[in-house]
């Protein structure tokens, strides 16, 4: 077997941003579409997203939340109703103004001036306002509560600087929207969704996250509380991987979502919303990718095992393909991580060694190469993507295993890979959170002197609000820093606020972020 090291031209340590772009392309995840700010998600990238969707959707349904579908177009009036929301959202959005095209007389097309909409429509950036309209119709009495809805779909937020999966004008996501009788119920739902996200992202995508509350300045427009899960990328930056908002009665008042309580009194509902998006695929790349491409955790891998027969365009190929087909059938009859094993027998034309590297770059968890000699010996040559290289020899850590042993061990193998990727990421994350910093200058110094990928710093603060908070945000911004969240369950504060010197009330994570 050939041992060409580094399937990519850029290493993470040299240029993380460039490396990211190269993995997106080399792993066949996505590409630029030619339409401003929009990407094309290719089959392997979309396959990963479909797996995330399926696993998240199972969790959503498990919680009794029902899927629905609301219009992609939102009338301007909906945005005008909720003041904070309009401030935060009614800016960079795609606006539909015409409903017909006509020939321009020069061989081209233009919007028909005769077909101008009376009221322009906005392509949804998020659906609180339009779902709020429906909630106001659907909720009448306490018996209708809680109302637990979710939607899978596309949204558009016009972005000036885009980066594939992380920030695109159009992206795919799910948005949960729920209405409750009381503040307590709504907060419980906010936390249930947050915990669901933590579990899915950690258990399925193998991305360790820290769940916590966002500071006031990072709240969703119109929310009373915003909670997030934050993941650390290999360059030490934070990626917000999911958010869950307690909206108080703000949207309920704007859309008139009211119910009659058991005593017959009209009350406003307390609502929540929560979302995760295709951004998670970007997080997957920046957490599990290495200098040979992507490594996909088995739970979200469209194919977990790739079988590559070494074909020679000779009559013997037939027997080899039969051997591989038997291998495939044996594997799919097994379960791993609670589901039947997903196997691809890749019979596409091309050299097995070239195809091996295609699958290394794409990050299939296990790649099997099977040649005539392996068949004779009843063996397979197995490559485990997460531990690709033998550190001692510097060669590919290929293992020649008896076919039957490989088949019966597939469940344990995939579980081990899933666990290893999570452990590796968790250890790196934990090693890169610095605690005990008590002076602002120390923080500034830390980010100046700690190399390219400095990680996160935990500090204590007095939770300033309004103008005082603005000043803090400015100081952070000058260092390109942000507050990620107040970790759930973190130790009580016991020192002084790093910004104001006042007694601290909580601990916050400070980091550079995507």
Residues that bind its own copies (CB under 8 A): 31, 33-36, 38-43, 46-47, 49-50, 66-76, 79-80, 86, 90-101, 107-111, 120-123, 130, 133-134, 137, 143, 149, 153-154, 156, 158, 170, 172, 348-350
Cα–Cα distance between 168 and 157 in angstroms, integer? 8
Shortest spacing between CB 78 and its own copies, in angstroms: 9
Shortest spacing between CB 125 and its own copies, in angstroms: 11
Q: Find, among 338, 393, 336, the residue nearest to 366 by Cα.
A: 336
Q: Find, among 295, 163, 186, the residue nearest to 239 by Cα.
A: 163
Q: Which CB atom, from 351 or from 452, has the smaller least distance to its own copies?
A: 351
Shortest spacing between CB 222 and its own copies, in angstroms: 16
Q: From residue 497, give the alpha-carbon distance in Å to each of 296, 436, 493.
A: 41, 12, 9
Shortest spacing between CB 354 and its own copies, in angstroms: 11
Q: Which CB atom, from 155 or from 508, has the smaller least distance to its own copies?
A: 155
Q: Which CB atom, from 123 or from 284, has the smaller least distance to its own copies?
A: 123
Q: Which CB atom, from 5 or from 99, has the smaller least distance to its own copies?
A: 99
400 DSSP β-pair partners = 381
Shortest spacing between CB 348 and its own copies, in angstroms: 7
Q: Which CB atom, from 120 or from 378, has the smaller least distance to its own copies?
A: 120
Shortest spacing between CB 507 and its own copies, in angstroms: 38
Calculate the dihedral angle through the C-alpha atoms of 68, 73, 77, 79, rounding to the nearest 10 degrees. Answer: 70
Shortest spacing between CB 268 and its own copies, in angstroms: 21
Shortest spacing between CB 19 and its own copies, in angstroms: 23
Q: Which CB atom, from 38 or from 468, has the smaller least distance to its own copies?
A: 38
Cα–Cα distance between 161 and 266 in angstroms, integer? 46
Shortest spacing between CB 332 and its own copies, in angstroms: 13
Q: Which CB atom, from 31 or from 203, has the smaller least distance to its own copies?
A: 31
Phi-psi region of 78 (alpha: psi -120 to 50; beta: other; left: phi over 0): alpha
Place of tokens 């307390």: 270
Burial profile 97-135: b = 16 or more Cβ within 10 angstroms, e = fewer: eeeeeeeeeeeeeeeeeeeeeeeebbbbbbbbbbbbbbb
Q: Which CB atom, from 172 or from 444, has the smaller least distance to its own copies?
A: 172
Shortest spacing between CB 23 and its own copies, in angstroms: 19
Six token digits for residue 202: 């950690």
CB contact set of 210 (below 8 Å; sequence gap of 6+):
229, 230, 484, 485, 487, 488, 509
Cα–Cα distance between 430 and 237 in angstroms, integer? 13
Q: Is 181 exposed, middle or buried (0-12, 13-18, 19+ CB in 10 A)?
A: buried
Query: What is the DSSP secondary structure assignment for residue 464, as one 8-state letter?
Result: -
Q: Which CB atom, from 301 or from 459, has the smaller least distance to its own copies?
A: 301
What DSSP assignment string belongs to 337-394? TTEEPPEEE---SS-HHHHHHHHHHHT-SEEEEE-HHHHHHTEEEEEEGGG-B-TTT-
Q: Find, among 309, 422, 417, 404, the residue nearest to 365 by Cα.
A: 417
Q: Which CB atom, from 121 or from 397, has the smaller least distance to its own copies?
A: 121
């Amino acid at each position: 077997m050939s041992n060409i090291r580094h399937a990519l031209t850029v290493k993470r340590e040299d240029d993380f941003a460039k490396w990211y772009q190269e993995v997106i392309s080399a792993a066949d995840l996505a590409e630029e579409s030619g339409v401003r700010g929009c990407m094309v998600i290719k089959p392997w990238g979309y396959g990963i997203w479909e797996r995330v969707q399926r696993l998240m959707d199972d969790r959503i349904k498990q919680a009794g939340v029902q899927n629905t579908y609301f219009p992609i177009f939102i009338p301007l009036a909906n945005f005008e109703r909720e003041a904070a929301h309009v401030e935060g959202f009614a800016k960079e959005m795609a606006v539909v103004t015409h409903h017909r095209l006509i020939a321009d007389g020069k061989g081209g097309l233009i919007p028909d001036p005769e077909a101008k909409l009376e009221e322009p429509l906005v392509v949804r950036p998020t659906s609180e306002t339009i779902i709020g309209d429906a909630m106001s119709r659907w909720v009448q009495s306490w018996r209708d509560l809680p109302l637990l809805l979710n939607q899978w779909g596309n949204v558009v937020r016009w972005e000036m600087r885009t980066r594939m999966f992380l920030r695109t004008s159009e992206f795919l996501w799910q948005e949960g929207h729920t209405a409750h009788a009381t503040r307590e119920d709504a907060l419980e739902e906010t936390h249930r969704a947050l915990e669901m996200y933590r579990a899915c992202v950690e258990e399925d995508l193998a991305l360790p996250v820290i769940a916590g509350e966002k500071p006031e300045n990072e709240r969703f427009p119109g929310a009373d509380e915003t909670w997030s899960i934050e993941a650390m990328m290999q360059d030490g930056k934070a990626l917000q991987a999911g958010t869950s908002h307690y909206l108080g009665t703000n949207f309920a008042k704007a859309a008139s979502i009211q119910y009659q309580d058991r005593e017959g009194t009209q009350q406003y509902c307390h609502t929540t919303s929560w979302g995760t998006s295709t951004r998670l695929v970007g997080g997957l790349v920046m957490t599990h990718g290495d200098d040979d491409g992507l490594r996909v955790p088995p739970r979200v891998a469209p194919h977990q095992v790739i079988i590559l027969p070494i074909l020679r365009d000779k009559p013997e190929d037939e027997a080899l393909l039969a051997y591989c087909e038997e291998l495939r059938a044996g594997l799919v009859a097994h379960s791993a991580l609670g589901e039947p094993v997903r196997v691809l027998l890749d019979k596409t034309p091309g050299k097995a060694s070239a195809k091996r590297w295609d699958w290394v770059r794409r990050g299939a968890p296990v790649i099997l190469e099977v040649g005539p000699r392996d068949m004779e010996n009843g063996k397979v040559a197995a490559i485990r993507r997460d531990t690709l290289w033998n550190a001692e020899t510097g060669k590919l850590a290929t293992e020649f295993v008896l076919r039957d042993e490989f088949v019966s061990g597939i469940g344990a193998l995939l579980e081990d890979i899933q666990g290893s990727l999570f452990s590796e990421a968790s250890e790196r994350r934990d090693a890169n959170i610095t605690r005990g910093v008590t002076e602002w200058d120390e923080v500034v110094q830390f980010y100046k002197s700690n190399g390219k990928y400095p990680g996160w710093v935990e500090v204590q603060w007095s939770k300033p609000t309004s103008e005082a908070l603005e000043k803090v945000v400015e100081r952070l911004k000058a260092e390109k820093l942000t507050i990620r969240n107040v970790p759930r369950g973190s130790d009580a504060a016991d020192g002084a606020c790093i910004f104001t010197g006042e007694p601290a009330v909580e601990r916050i994570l400070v980091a550079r972020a995507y």
